Homo-oligomer: A and B are copies of this chain.
């Protein structure tokens, strides 16, 4: 029986070159019936934290047994190990630099393997493109049903990028902007329930760069034009938005710029 498992690709390669296409060619040579989905290839070169966050935010929407092939790899050719991780419902393949940890831990890690069985690699391994030579073929073999135990040597830990939690001290919450989406919405690290607990009925003023945010709305339509506001985003984190306009532009932020946001609560 042919397997029609899905491979999801997440890289910082962009789409102006042939990197992603060539990885797909390698995959199709091994599993011609695979479904391939681009999660995104535009996280910004070497933007490990944003990639780890996006992978974590996205994986659970895919069918069980999906293989996630995540290659943001500034250390390619150095000593960071190539990894595969089997979790409760998924497989993750990529470099051991933290990109996999948030998502894999959230689903529940079952087994970790350092990729070292050359039988599942391309024959020639370059020093600059392990995505093509190691990670893509391993992902393809996993999608075809090759047992996880054959892929490499079991190890016990992976490098972690801890999720940056907001810090609460008395009436001040210090959070951060994780990334900006296409519309200029600013995704924060502040979960809705954390925010509600912090406020417990009080109002607030939030400070981002030299501007303030004073409102939270349940949908875009409730806001005024040219007024920044919080809204609970599609992953239950607070996002900073403007109605039919870009909050990123309003606050003069770059595409990925770690930026602190301070929320002060006030008696209502």
**Which residues does A use to contact B, with CB under 8 Å?**
4, 6, 8, 10, 12-22, 24-26, 28-29, 32-33, 35-43, 45-46, 54, 57-58, 61-63, 66, 74-79, 126-129, 132-133, 179, 181-184, 218-221, 231-234, 239, 244, 246, 255
Residue of B nearest to A14 (CB): B182
**B residues less than 8 Å from A184 (CB atoms):** 45
Instruction: Known contacts A183-B45, A219-B77, A221-B77; decide if A15 and B35 are in contact (CB<8 Å).
Output: no
Tell me whether B8 and A25 are in contact (CB under 8 A): yes
7 contacts between A and B (CB under 8 A): A6-B32, A16-B43, A17-B42, A25-B63, A26-B61, A28-B62, A128-B219
**B residues less than 8 Å from A13 (CB atoms):** 182
Tell me whether A181 and B75 are in contact (CB under 8 A): no
Distance A48 CA – B38 CA, assembled complex (angstroms): 25
Tell me whether B77 and A218 are in contact (CB under 8 A): yes
Instruction: Known contacts A19-B181, A182-B19; decide if A231 and B128 are in contact (CB<8 Å).
Output: yes
Tell me whether B58 and A39 are in contact (CB under 8 A): no
Distance A10 CA – B133 CA, assembled complex (angstroms): 22
Residue of B nearest to A75 (CB): B221
Counting chain B CB atoms within 10 Å of each CB, the highest count among A17, A76, A79, A232 belongs to A17
Instruction: Known contacts A15-B38, A15-B40, A233-B126; decide if A28 and B45 are in contact (CB<8 Å).
Output: no
Residue of B nearest to A182 (CB): B14
**B residues less than 8 Å from A15 (CB atoms):** 15, 38, 40-42
Residue of B nearest to A73 (CB): B220
Which one of B17, B18, B35, B54 lies within 8 Å of A32 (CB-CB)? B35
Tell me whether A76 and B220 are in contact (CB under 8 A): yes
Distance A225 CA – B38 CA, assembled complex (angstroms): 32
Tell me whether A126 and B234 are in contact (CB under 8 A): yes
Distance A231 CA – B78 CA, assembled complex (angstroms): 14
Distance A19 CA – B181 CA, assembled complex (angstroms): 9
Tell me whether A220 and B26 are in contact (CB under 8 A): no
Tell me whether A63 and B127 are in contact (CB under 8 A): no
**B residues less than 8 Å from A61 (CB atoms):** 22, 25-26, 29, 132
Given A45-B182, A128-B220; 19 other pairs, CB 8 A cutoff: A4-B33, A6-B32, A8-B21, A8-B25, A16-B182, A17-B181, A18-B40, A18-B57, A18-B58, A20-B38, A22-B61, A24-B37, A25-B61, A28-B37, A29-B61, A29-B63, A78-B219, A78-B220, A127-B231
